Amino acid sequence: MSRGTRPGTGSAQPARHTPGGGDRPYDDDLQLALYLCYELHYRGFDGVDGAWEWDPELLMVRAALEREFMAALRADVPVAEDVGLALDELVLEPSDSDGVSYFLRDEGELWHLREYAAHRSLYHLKEADPHVWVIPRLTGRAKAGMAAVEYDEFGAGRAEQVHSKLFADLMADLNLDTSHGRYLDADSRQILATVNLMSLFGLHRSHRGALVGHFASVETTSPPGSRRLAQALKRAGAGPAAIHFYAEHVEADAVHEQLVRHEVVAGLLQEEPGLAPDVAFGIGATGWLEDRFGEQLLGAWRGAESSLRVPL
């Protein structure tokens, strides 16, 4: 974008989404546009004036895109009636699971793992940043628990242990470019949607419950998935830095899971019990979008094709 060209006002109201009514809310154009809008709140773009972050007309465009995305999620995502049951379901590991981490552990080759890292770089090179937005919106136990987890995510005071730095080390180990956003043009709309979800929840106080649900989902499912990914990298002959990233998450996120469940989620619902449906929605939306991303990856890989628009 150049500062001399103004975006549209976004005043038109998007159509309400109905289940099975089309894929536009999840398509390339909408998800890429949202990602570009959100990235202005993180590191921005070379050559783009930082004033665009709070440009009123651009924010109106973003709001219209967000309404369409949220309407689709509200219509499409199955949501548990009870937060406790939703959290319990996250820790269940069916014996016949065939998701992405299982595929990578059992069949994945190094090129699969490099593609997976390129996809995940859109988030992991800014790991935990979208979740920080919620801390000022929490109080008491929820705030303290969230801050404790984020402290670990940001290296517990050690720059070399910041998780985004550890992921950059993983990428370098796999001979990938560690520049922020380097693989945006190659990544799929499915991964864009999973990353956009965090920013959508994080940037709106009204979605603080959903952000907590999202965070609980990520921290609860991370340890077993990270263990499988560490095993996959070791079997494929990756270097120690790549293996270390996921090995670190096996241990750290097992602790985080308990903090998030018993302090962040429980603390939030003790203070604001009316947010329980939002927490459950955050859990459901996270899993639903991750499933779509997994289907896209496995569909390509099982057909011996690249999952990226531009193969590495």
| Distance separating alpha carbons of residues 150 and 127, to the nearest angstrom | 10
- Spatial contact of 238 and 174, defined as CB atoms under 8 Å apart: yes
CA dist 61 and 234 (Å) reads 45
Using a pLDDT cut of 70, give the percent of the chain over it.
91
Read off the tokens for 57.
């007309």
Residues 2-16 pLDDT 10s: 333 333 333 334 334
Instruction: Give the residues of the chain that fall short of pLDDT 70.
Output: 1-22, 94-96, 253
Please give the pLDDT value at position 84: 92
pLDDT of residue 267: 97
Output the pLDDT for position 254: 72
- HEC assignment per residue over the chain: CCCCCCCCCCCCCCCCCCCCCCCHHHCHHHHHHHHHHHHCCCCCCCCCCHHHHHCHHHHHHHHHHHHHHHHHHHHHCCCCCCHHHHHHHHCCCCCCCCCHHHHHHHCCCHHHHHHHHHHHHHHHCCCCHHHHCCHHHCCHHHHHHHHHHHHHHCHHHCHHHCHHHHHHHHHHHCCCCCCCCCCCCCCCHHHHHHHHHHHHHHCCHHHHHHHHHHHHHHHHHHHHHHHHHHHHHHHHCCCHHHHHHHHHHHHHHHHHHHHHHHHHHHHHHHHCHHHHHHHHHHHHHHHHHHHHHHHHHHHHHCCCCCCCCCCC
Encode 11-28: b = buried (16+ Cβ within 10 Å), e = exposed.
eeebeebeeeeeeebbee
pLDDT (0 to 100) of residue 182: 94
Q: What is the pLDDT of residue 255?
A: 76
Looking at residue 191, its pLDDT comes to 97
What was the pLDDT predicted at 257?
84
DSSP at 130: H
CA distance linking residue 73 with residue 86, whole number of Å: 17
What per-residue confidence (pLDDT) applies to 253? 63
